[in-house]
Amino acid sequence: MMDGSALREVIVRLGMSQVGLAGFLGYDDSMVRRWIADKHPVPIPVEMLLRVMIKYHLTPTKVIALTKDD
């Protein structure tokens, strides 16, 4: 499970802001703040996506491009 401090590190590694991450994921930025404060767990699908993005050096723009229908 990804805790708030790990999420904060991921946000920095991806060069994003909390608001930017929230928008990319389709969440309100208050939810991202709750994850970082460990008031709510980071959803498993969000954690998985962020780990894949780190591992394969994917930016949000690249992820969006990969998920678009051709």
Domain holding 26: CATH number? 1.10.260
Range of 34's domain?
Answer: 4-67
Q: pLDDT tens string for the chain (70 positions)?
A: 999 999 999 999 999 999 999 999 999 999 999 999 999 999 999 999 999 999 999 999 999 999 998 7
Coil vs helix vs strand at 44: helix
Distances (CA, A) of 24 to 56, 59: 17, 10
Rounded CA separation 45/5 (Å): 18
How many domains, the chain? Answer: 1
Instruction: Mention every residue, 6+ apart, whose C-beta is less than 8 A from residue 18.
Output: 11, 29, 32, 33, 36
Residue 70 confidence (pLDDT): 73
Tens digits of residue pLDDT in 37-49: 999 999 999 999 9
Burial (Cβ within 10 Å: 0-12, 13-18, ≥19) of residue 37: exposed
Q: What is the mean pLDDT of the chain?
A: 96
